[in-house]
Structure 1
Amino acid sequence: MIDRKTYNSISYSISIVGSLQDGKYRGCVVNSLQQLTSSSPAKFAVTLNKYNLTEAAVEQTGAFCATVAAADCPHDIINLFGYKSGRITDKFAAYDTKTDDAGCPYITDGMCARLSFRVVQQVDLDSAVLFIAEVTEAKILKDGGALTVDAFKNAGKEVPPNAPIYRTLDEHYGYRCSVCGYVHKSDTLPDDFRCPVCKQPASKFEKL
């Protein structure tokens, strides 16, 4: 027997990963960034959902930037990068966007640290891809600690559905669009339903 609630005993920081796809800025919320080694250069791992354009961007460029959300990060930033699709929204347009040495985009608003990476290995995980990468740049942006999944949930928020480790306030509830990640919070999904974000039909939704 596997009790999935045991996974909730492990918390993670919330970060925004940014990269380039055909010259366009891509970014999404993740809660899977973790340090693997302390050797020089240090190696980290991040898992990106294949539904996200950011995953394709990291595969294309072999580089990405990760900014760690500060403990007081505005929820509007998490909502934008976690719930809006880059297929219809330029997520970076509303913020003072900077780029690292590899040209990967990042914002400093609401962030406490920035790290840039060069991918050295990747592993296919069916619905996601695990990227192992070396640190190329790192900088503290703000003191005060990071925003964790537990703190985010305790504030009455749900972790974005395309974050690799999906946590809701009421688990396995609703239907998720397999194209953009929008979650329809209902016990039922009408046959004529269309995603309000990317306009896909009900056949593109999967039950959580």
Structure 2
Amino acid sequence: MTKARRPNVLRQAFLLAALCLSAQGAGAQEAASYADLATGLRFPKMLGQLGYQRMVTFGDDKLGYCVLYAHPEARAQLCVYDMGHKNLPTGVDSAPFKEALGLAVQGTIISSNKAPFSNGKEIASGTPSIEADGRAAKAEMRTFTSDMAQLDGSVVRQTHLILMTTGLGKFLKLNYTSRRGSDAFALESRQFVEDFVRFNGDTMKQLLLASPPAP
């Protein structure tokens, strides 16, 4: 279950406990648009309502890569990297993870207060989990809002999500940004995450195997 401040913001988004990974979901046999041979992670053409755009690398192995998805009112990045750490512990309790999460949060606050954005702030946090076969993988969630100035002088409110964990020897981070209202944002971001987990059922089970048994 998610433990969060302001649970009304994302109360439906990350009730991921007991998400079944034993059977592959719809689309699991679809060819991936990109596959990471090192981790086994696969990235399909569609996740939720967002379509695959491209894979981006950063010229430094420790920064890994991000796979970009988008539709007209939302965009997402699924990033896989290790910051040069070897044998990263699975989960959210290690010092390297906490440092990486802190950098991600700090970067989001800075970017959400830089023109054309303003009023960027964190509004919710939580620790959702995904369970399978009596084991649970935890993630850290942070949610933010910001205002984006349009060319016509109007202002659009955006919601931004960071969902992050460590597994398969890597930091796994989702950045999800949408102009939709909070209820639509919650449903759409949850669908995005669930589709990715189901598409990577076997690989996600490998991640779970390194996690401690669920209480």
| Structure with greater helix share of residues | 2
Higher relative contact order (CA 8 A, sep 6+): 2
Length-normalised TM-score, structure 2: 0.23
Length-normalised TM-score, structure 1: 0.24
